[in-house]
Amino acid sequence: MCQVEEDYRDPPLLPDLPSVFNKCVKCKDASAAVVVRAGDPYCRACFKEYFIHKFRAMLGKNRVIFPGEKVLLAVSGGPSSSSMLRQVQEGLSQNAHKKLRFSPGVVYIDEGGAVGQSVQARLRTASELQAVFRATGFPFHMVPLEQVLDLPSSVVVAAVSPEPAASTYKAAVDRFMQSADTEHHVQEQRRDEAGLAVLEADTLSLQQLLDSATTLTAREELLSTLRQHLLVHTARSEGYSKLMLGDSCSRLAVKLLAAISLGRGAQLAQDTGFSDSRYGDIVSVKPMRDYSAKEIAFYNHMFRVPSVTTPSLTSKMSDKASIQRLTESFISKLQADFPSTVSTIYRTSEKLQTACRPSSAADRMDTCLLCVCVLDTSVGNATAFQSTLISKYLSEPKAQVSPGAAAAARSGHNPVTPPCVEQSRSCGGEHCGTSACTAPAQLTLTTDLKNLLCYSCQLTVRDMSSVDRLPQYILSEAQRRTRRSQLREEISDFLLDDDEDDSRG
């Protein structure tokens, strides 16, 4: 039985934690140099082999990149993308055990103008990265973000790309092995760019575009969209068919929860999956998605992988500055106490799939104008999206709300249609010129844009003070789609439905 004066103050027995003084978990011989996870101490040689094998296994398991294909590596200078560049460089070396079979190139998007960097600081960063890129021997492209203002409208149009057959990869391997001059692709394609040619007027226009977003959350989403557009355009113009991104497991975990908070639940499979084919001819892949930020930091430090730190929009900001920043802080603090947090979120993202028709069968008019994903706004009446529209409609001022506006709200279009639009786009109402009425041109443009955007991008545009600051290629494509939609409505009585056409065929 229990004694009153019995001493229970002995410390509990704790399990032996792994340390660098233990033996390597793989070779069982050398002393451990790094502890990746609890119970996984590695020596220096085994850790390098483990790191390289994970990269090769990710590419080999998915078989998205074909032998001889041109792949563009998006390198920002950060730890993850710099480590990705080193893995490709070692995979193409002469002494590699299983050499990579694609032809790489490097692109760097200079975002110094967006974050307010001086010209001298931007040139200094570009010079440091040029030295790193020249050491690899790969062709590289230094592209300032200001070039996004001059992109063609085709960048936001998903190109139709045929689905490859199962035997296509094997045939590509056979052709690659039979080729006699596949060893010197990289050196022949080498291309150096002296520096960044940026006009001050373009930098000012870019800053005005980002400043039009009233919240930091919307500004980050807009910057991410513009960066993706410029990467896709660079890949297309330079003849690349694959775009390799350096998103790590930790970054994808943050992106997953932030995307859910921003209403991008329907696009999670494309935003966080290994491959993303929303653009059709350009497929984005994420070979670093199995690595945590801790593993990447250890590898870069132990094997001297150079990286260049560049400021971002959230540099020196508080944890509550934006949804993305708050999500990153939440996951980082939770990971410190529960080491399996990031891996659990990441494994959840692996199971996500898109419940929609494939992109090859989707009409180009059914994709979002900004993120180029399939629109998630064409849903039934008993949905959360319709409930949101009705709640927003009921909270709007009831002045001059016509029956057409209420019908539009119930049908999923813009909830409130002001008099300027309903009266043949010429305002003749009593509220013309007051706060209850907006200029016809800008109001019509905002209405047309909302009908062409997914739910998440609608929230981003809603937080913008003026959509006139958007790049011209986005506004031109919005006008083209609007005219095409109006023309389709005018001739709808003379068009055959898909079911009727199939029955006649």
Q: State the angle between helix axes of 249-261 and 341-350 in degrees (0 to 180), rounded to the nearest 10.
A: 70
Among 53-62, 205-214, 404-413, the least confident range: 404-413
pLDDT value at position 265? 87
273 and 410 share one domain: no
What is 225-292 written as a DSSP string? HHHHHHHHHHHHHTT-SEEE----HHHHHHHHHHHHHTT-GGGHHHHHSSEE-TTSSSEEE-TTTT--
**Which one, of 138, 46, 24, lies nearest residue 90 by Cα?**
138
482 and 426 share one domain: yes
Phi, psi of 73 (to 5 degrees): -95, 120
Residues 6+ apart with CB under 8 A from 457: 221, 225, 368, 369, 370, 371
Within a domain: 21: no
Cα separation of 464 and 451, whole Å?
Answer: 16
Show the CA angle centred on residue 200, arms to residues 199 and 206, nearest 5°.
95
358 and 372 share one domain: no
What percent of the chain clears pLDDT 90, i.e. is strictly above it? 46
Residue 293, beta-bridge partner list: none
pLDDT value at position 126? 93
Which structural domain, as residue segments, surrounds residue 70? 64-162+186-362
pLDDT value at position 10? 56
438 and 321 share one domain: no
**Band of pLDDT at residue 414, cut at 50, 70 and 90:** very low
**Which one, of 291, 271, 274, 267, lies nearest residue 343 by Cα?**
291
105 and 249 share one domain: yes
Among 3-7, 196-200, 220-224, 270-274, the least confident range: 3-7
Residues 6+ apart with CB under 8 A from 31: 20, 21, 22, 23, 24, 43
What is 364-404 written as a DSSP string? GGGB-TTT-PBPS----SSSHHHHHHHHHHHHS--TT--HH
pLDDT value at position 420? 46
Cα separation of 255 and 345, whole Å?
Answer: 10
pLDDT surpasses 70 at 443: no
pLDDT value at position 185? 44
Within a domain: 16: no
pLDDT value at position 184? 43
**Which one, of 257, 270, 227, lies nearest residue 110 by Cα?**
227
The residue among 334, 362, 390 that closes a domain is 362
Radius of gyration of the chain (CA): 27
The residue among 347, 362, 377 that closes a domain is 362
**Which one, of 283, 255, 292, lies nearest residue 54 by Cα?**
292
The residue among 362, 385, 407 that closes a domain is 362
pLDDT value at position 97? 73
Within a domain: 217: yes
Cα torsion angle, 445, 447, 449, 452, sign? negative
470 and 352 share one domain: no
**Band of pLDDT at residue 421, cut at 50, 70 and 90:** very low
Phi, psi of 286 (to 5 degrees): -130, 80
Residues 6+ apart with CB under 8 A from 333: none
358 and 423 share one domain: no
Among 73-77, 106-110, 181-185, 385-389, the least confident range: 181-185
**Band of pLDDT at residue 23, cut at 50, 70 and 90:** confident
CATH of the domain at 275: 3.40.50.620
pLDDT surpasses 70 at 104: yes
**Band of pLDDT at residue 102, cut at 50, 70 and 90:** very high
**Which one, of 384, 364, 160, 394, lies nearest residue 277 by Cα?**
160
Strand (E) or helix (H) holding 108: strand 103-110
Within a domain: 455: yes
Residues 6+ apart with CB under 8 A from 4: none
**Band of pLDDT at residue 436, cut at 50, 70 and 90:** very low
User: Which of 90-94, 327-331, 409-413 is predicted most confidently?
Assistant: 327-331
**Band of pLDDT at residue 292, cut at 50, 70 and 90:** very high
308 and 391 share one domain: no
CB atoms within 10 A of CB 284: 24
pLDDT surpasses 70 at 500: no
Domain count, the chain: 2
Question: Are the C-beta atoms of residues 101 and 151 closer than 8 Å to each other?
Answer: no
Cα separation of 262 and 220, whole Å?
Answer: 12
Cα separation of 367 and 360, whole Å?
Answer: 12
Cα separation of 134 and 109, whole Å?
Answer: 17
pLDDT value at position 434? 45
pLDDT digits (tens, 9 = 90+) for 246-276: 999 999 999 999 999 999 988 888 899 899 9
Single-letter residue type at 134? R
pLDDT surpasses 90 at 14: no
| Beta-strand relationship, 242-244 and 283-285 | parallel
More confident residue, 5 or 93: 93
Alpha carbon dihedral 171, 240, 295, 320, in 10-degree steps, equals -140
Within a domain: 38: no
pLDDT value at position 77? 93
Mean pLDDT within 113-131: 92
More confident residue, 290 or 177: 290
Residue 284, beta-bridge partner list: 243, 276
pLDDT surpasses 60 at 183: no
What's the pTM?
A: 0.81
347 and 431 share one domain: no
Within a domain: 256: yes
pLDDT surpasses 60 at 7: no
Within a domain: 97: yes
Cα separation of 176 and 205, whole Å?
Answer: 46
329 and 355 share one domain: yes
Mean pLDDT within 438-464: 75
pLDDT digits (tens, 9 = 90+) for 337-381: 888 899 899 888 778 776 655 444 345 558 899 999 988 877 666
pLDDT digits (tens, 9 = 90+) for 41-100: 899 999 999 999 999 999 988 889 988 899 999 999 999 999 999 999 998 887 777 788
379 and 463 share one domain: yes
More confident residue, 503 or 122: 122
More confident residue, 5 or 52: 52
Within a domain: 170: no
User: Which of 8-22, 23-37, 328-342 is predicted most confidently?
Assistant: 328-342
pLDDT surpasses 90 at 238: yes
pLDDT value at position 358? 47
pLDDT value at position 423? 38
Tell the residue number behind the tokens 């690899």, with chain if given: 136
268 and 302 share one domain: yes
User: Which of 165-174, 317-326, 384-393, 413-422 is predicted most confidently?
Assistant: 317-326
